[in-house]
């Protein structure tokens, strides 16, 4: 009983019945310079017997700042607007091409914001269209988008960075980032992952790494999800085209990046070693002596070519997602002070080399 006198108790509690939890949040560029904010708010009605019913309220308004929009939405709904459970934050493509930090500033300053939320850009559409879409499957649009992004992370198509991790890359010079791109398909009933949008400093460049290249793009960053598969064309035998392809599952990957400075000239090498398992090879004949080694060599050459193409896209977009500038700043500070990194990065030499070792080829042959 004496010890109980020194316990503070739950003094900081906040009753759910007194708030409206916003689960998905979207921002778009308005026609006259203002921003449009759209939110989805679920409401669960209790039932006397069995599970209760859930309805989804979509609210949208224009305002000068995100916090101004929040205050306006607060006057449109019952109870109080609460962003502490936001799962996804969406940006319309037009707005993302501007400085995105002012849009996120309130979330970083508000201690009740959920910084574990995902950030994504809506390609060829608006965040309002996505949040308001009539999708099939999950009841809540936040569950649908969140599940789609988590699947992209698990299958090595996206990095999985949340708002907290992106904050450092937004503010620190010498490193850029990319976020998932979402696109509405099938007349507004389906949402697809459409690649990774490349950012330079605090704005979306309008350039992207397409969905077909995102797995290799992630591996070049040293990122691997639970599953990583690559399907590559390694033959051209003129017969059935399906026989030209091989699909491999990445068992292990080891990426090493070296940044060298020679008389103020920056040169970068990226070495990626992969141990893979053949998951699908319609051409078969893997029992032929030397065939496994031949496939490994062709894969190494093909993936090195694809890596060169990805790096060309990054330099064309002026997006330093590998953090090369950060390494130059850390290890060559005198050189960094003399450089305008935004002008230098697109011109530096970045040489990738991929080496593939096949460690398993299935239970047949």
Among 86, 65, 227, 255, smallest CA distance to 164 is for 86
Q: Note the pLDDT tens digit of each residue in 218-275.
A: 999 999 999 999 999 988 877 788 888 899 999 999 999 999 988 878 999 999 999 9
Residue 76 to residues 15, 60, 71, 79, Cα–Cα distance (Å)? 20, 10, 9, 10
How high is the pLDDT of residue 48?
54
| CB 317 within 8 Å of CB 217 | no
Mean pLDDT of the chain: 88
Bridge partners of residue 11, in order along the sequence:
none
Rounded CA-CA distance 60/64 in Å is 14
How high is the pLDDT of residue 10?
62
Please give the backbone phi and psi of residue 340, each rounded to the nearest 5 degrees, phi first. -100, 95
- Reported confidence tier of residue 138, pLDDT bands at 50, 70, 90: low
Q: Note the pLDDT tens digit of each residue in 151-194.
A: 999 999 999 889 999 998 999 989 999 999 999 987 777 899 99
How high is the pLDDT of residue 220?
95
Please say if the pLDDT value at position 139 is more than 80. no
Q: Note the pLDDT tens digit of each residue in 5-57.
A: 777 666 566 666 667 788 899 999 988 889 999 998 887 666 555 565 667 78
Please say if the pLDDT value at position 79 is more than 60. yes
Angle between helices 101-109 and 163-171 (to 10 degrees): 120
How high is the pLDDT of residue 14?
64
Bridge partners of residue 265, in order along the sequence:
262
């Amino acid at each position: 009983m004496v010890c109980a006198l020194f316990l503070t108790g739950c003094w900081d509690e906040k009753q759910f019945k007194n708030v409206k939890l916003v689960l998905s949040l979207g921002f778009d560029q308005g026609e006259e310079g203002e921003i449009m904010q759209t939110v989805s708010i679920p409401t669960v009605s209790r039932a006397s017997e069995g599970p209760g019913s859930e309805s989804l309220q979509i609210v949208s308004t224009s305002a000068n700042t995100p916090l101004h929009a929040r205050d306006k939405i607060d006057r449109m709904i019952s109870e109080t607007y609460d962003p502490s459970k936001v799962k996804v934050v969406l940006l319309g493509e037009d707005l993302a091409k501007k400085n995105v930090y002012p849009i996120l500033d309130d979330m970083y300053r508000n201690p009740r914001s959920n910084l574990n939320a995902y950030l994504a850009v809506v390609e060829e559409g608006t965040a309002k269209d996505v949040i308001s879409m009539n999708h099939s499957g999950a009841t809540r649009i936040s569950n649908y988008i969140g599940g789609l992004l988590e699947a992209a992370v698990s299958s090595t198509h996206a990095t999985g960075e949340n708002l907290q991790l992106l904050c450092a890359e937004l503010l620190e010079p010498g490193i850029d980032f990319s976020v998932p791109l979402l696109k509405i398909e099938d007349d507004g009933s389906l949402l697809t992952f459409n690649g990774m949008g490349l950012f330079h400093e605090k704005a979306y460049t309008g350039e992207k790494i397409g969905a077909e290249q995102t797995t290799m793009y992630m591996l070049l960053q040293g990122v691997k999800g639970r599953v990583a598969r690559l399907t590559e064309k390694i033959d051209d035998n003129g017969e059935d085209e399906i026989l030209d392809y091989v699909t491999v599952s990445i068992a292990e990957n080891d990426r090493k990046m070296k940044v060298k400075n020679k008389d103020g000239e920056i040169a970068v090498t990226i070495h990626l070693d992969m141990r893979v398992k053949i998951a699908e090879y319609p051409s078969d004949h893997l029992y032929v002596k030397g065939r496994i080694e031949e496939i490994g060599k062709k894969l190494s050459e093909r993936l090195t070519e694809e890596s060169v193409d990805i790096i060309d896209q990054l330099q064309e977009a002026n997006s330093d997602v590998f953090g090369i500038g950060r390494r130059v700043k850390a290890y060559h500070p005198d050189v960094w002070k003399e450089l305008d990194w935004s002008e230098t990065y697109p011109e530096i030499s970045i040489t990738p080399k991929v080496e593939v070792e096949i460690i398993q080829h299935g239970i047949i042959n």
